[in-house]
Structure 1
């Protein structure tokens, strides 16, 4: 019986300690290390035909650097995080002519992002409570 109680106590301790470590994760550590591929716009489906050269993605790097692909052109800029507040600056962008119109919408929504939610398998950019875009990690 003593052995059972000891095992139960260890199990309870591990359960609580693992829950607290998940809640204490730094959002930056969840953002970096992934290419986040666009999966929805304005809470709805994604019309891939608007992105004739491929789906947009974001890559958050150490030092506040942001790189990505907007559906036709590449960009390289910066980002700032303060809690769940977010400021994205796509910075310099290549200037290829693009078809489909998706890139313009993507860049416009990117500039409207003021906060975010992130989990291991989903990044959501928000303007207050309004969902602008969501992303999933690129399959490796």
Structure 2
């Protein structure tokens, strides 16, 4: 009986060990995930602060196990897995398909996610490499919390699933106002006024419940707006442009008024 108990114990330990490989490990995990990292070096070459007018970045969502990134043009994303000994793997998911003037950094990022298998974090610097002792494939610096940049009034400039934005909002574009002290928002959905709570954690954001006035509205601009604001899970602010995303897909884009 003792022999069988020893066998069962050995099998149980082996199963635990195999599961541990799939779990995040290392004391850097807490400062790695849930942050936004700005790409500053790729394949040994410096990356401009802005490419096509946008900041190249990487973000890892701990809860969903997904990453989102941009090389200054399209949103790139998919799933990632953290492994023991600072291992990391990326799998490609959906991305937008815009053509931009400068695609070099974006193309380099796509190659990076295919090759990188190791990460290191040193204070505010994240390095992705191939192999524990391999040369750095990319370097990122930590982006500070942007929630303070949300304060004020924003006017909608783009929304997902709108074939003709200007026709959809020909009379009035939706607006949103952030009150960061009270953690509340209010605005206009192109017809009715709305207000409610906003929850922000780093670059993660969610709205609700939202209350609205009840005027009858022509067209379906308000319905499109309310449907898409519920999809938003993260945000990014660059100068006077606020981008709201669902995972790695751009849902809304706003201009500061």
Task: Say whether the fold is shared (TM-score over 0.5).
Answer: yes
For residue 190 of structure 2, the aligned residue among 58, 65, 71 is 71
Task: Tell whether the 8 Å contact from 2:157 to 2:253 is kept in structure 1 after alignment.
Answer: yes
Task: Tell whether the 8 Å contact from 2:204 to 2:233 is kept in structure 1 after alignment.
Answer: yes
Offset of residue 91 of structure 1: 1.6
Cα distance in 1, alignment partners of residues 157 and 199 from structure 2: 23
Structure 1 residues 48 and 67, CA gap change in structure 2 (3 angstroms): same
Structure 1 residues 117 and 45, CA gap change in structure 2 (3 angstroms): farther
Q: Which runs of 5+ in 1 are unaligned?
A: 1-22
Structure 1 residues 115 and 122, CA gap change in structure 2 (3 angstroms): same
For residue 38 of structure 1, the aligned residue among 139, 145, 156 is 156
Structure 1 residues 103 and 39, CA gap change in structure 2 (3 angstroms): same
Task: Tell whether the 8 Å contact from 1:50 to 1:99 is kept in structure 2 after alignment.
Answer: no
Task: Tell whether the 8 Å contact from 2:233 to 2:247 is kept in structure 1 after alignment.
Answer: yes
Offset of residue 58 of structure 1: 0.8
Partner of 2:84: none
Offset of residue 71 of structure 1: 0.5
Cα distance in 1, alignment partners of residues 227 and 198 from structure 2: 16
Partner of 1:130: 249
**Secondary structure, aligned partner of 1:117:** strand
Offset of residue 47 of structure 1: 1.9
Partner of 1:48: 166
Equivalenced residue count is 115
Task: Tell whether the 8 Å contact from 1:52 to 1:100 is kept in structure 2 after alignment.
Answer: no
Q: Which has the higher contact order (CA 8 A, sep 6+)?
A: 1
Q: Is 2:225 the partner of 1:109?
A: no
Which ranges of 4 or more aligned residues in structure 1 deviate by more than 4 Å?
A: 43-46
Q: Which runs of 5+ in 2 are unaligned?
A: 1-142
Q: Deviations over 1:103-132 (max 9, x none)?
A: 100110000001111122111110000000
Cα distance in 1, alignment partners of residues 178 and 229 from structure 2: 14
